[in-house]
Each structure stands twice: as structure tokens, then as C-alpha cells.
Amino acid sequence: MDIDLIPDTTKLDAFESAFGFRPPAEPLLEPVFGGQTGEQLVEHIDWSVSKDTQIAPPAGLAAMKVRAFPDRDKSHKRLKDLADLHSVLWYVADYDDVRAATLEHLTDEDLDTFVAAIDSELYERTARLIDVDGTVIRQSIERLFQ
């Protein structure tokens, strides 16, 4: 499991002054950290962690992947985003429930930008990465936009 530490605000001047860089921010995390939508990490792992540690629910994760994907400049990050998006949509909970909740977090512009950034080669490379049929990846992701 990889854990990315991502702030829920773009107000990061003090952080940048102290550490010399500005981390990526995701306002979709605000309800997670605010206690409205977060899930306890302890429910998803088998190692010890505080019960106060929250993670984003599947729909929030999927929405963050859709929003981040078009701006990824490294091929391996794009493949990982597609693999993660497919996994969240396909394996975590009922597809239709995750799809509906994900779409609540996304604008038409988010969706259009994502669709414009993807192509058949990325689907196929992602499918090889996680050893599934490329059609399954394509359909699980494209169904999100229908």
C-alpha cells in the first residue's frame, strides 16, 4: 500500500516557505479530513494505526484519479492512475454506487479533460500492467462517462 500525503487546501505558502516546495493539493479531501466522508484506515489494513486516521472513500479516490490523470507528465503515473481508477470502480464496492458518487465530485470539464487525455494505447498498457484484458479496463472506465 502506498500512502500519499496530500493537503486539502491550496493555501500552502507557509508550508512552501518551511520546506521549499509546494505539495499537490486536493480540495476533494476537505470532507475527508473534516469528518464528513472519511473512512477509518484501520478498517482497511492489518497493521496498527490510530482510529482517527481517515482515508478518502472510493468515490473520492476515483474523482481524484480522474482529475489528476490529464496533468500527469510521467507515463508510469498515468498508467498507475488508470489502474487505480479501474480498481476502485471495479473491485471496491458496487460499481453503480461508486460511479454515481464519483460523478457528484466531477464537473463536465473534469470529464472532458480526462477523456481527451486518454487513448487506446494507455488502456492496453494499463491492462498489461495489471494482467487483465484491455477491454475490461476500457469498459470499466468508459462506463463512468456514459
Predicted local distance difference test score (pLDDT) of residue 139: 94
The three-state secondary structure class of 75 is helix
Domain ranges (residues) in the chain? 1-56, 57-146
Residue reference for cell 464519483: 102
Whole-angstrom Cα Rg for the chain: 16
| Cα distance between residue 108 and residue 130, in whole Å | 29
The predicted pLDDT at position 16 comes to 86
List of the chain residues with pLDDT < 70: 1-5
At 3 the pLDDT is 65
User: H or E segment at 146?
Assistant: none
Contact between 60 and 105 (Cβ < 8 Å): yes
pLDDT in the model for residue 1: 56
pTM of this prediction exceeds 0.85: no
**Among residues 124, 5, 143, 125, which one has the least CA distance to residue 62?**
143
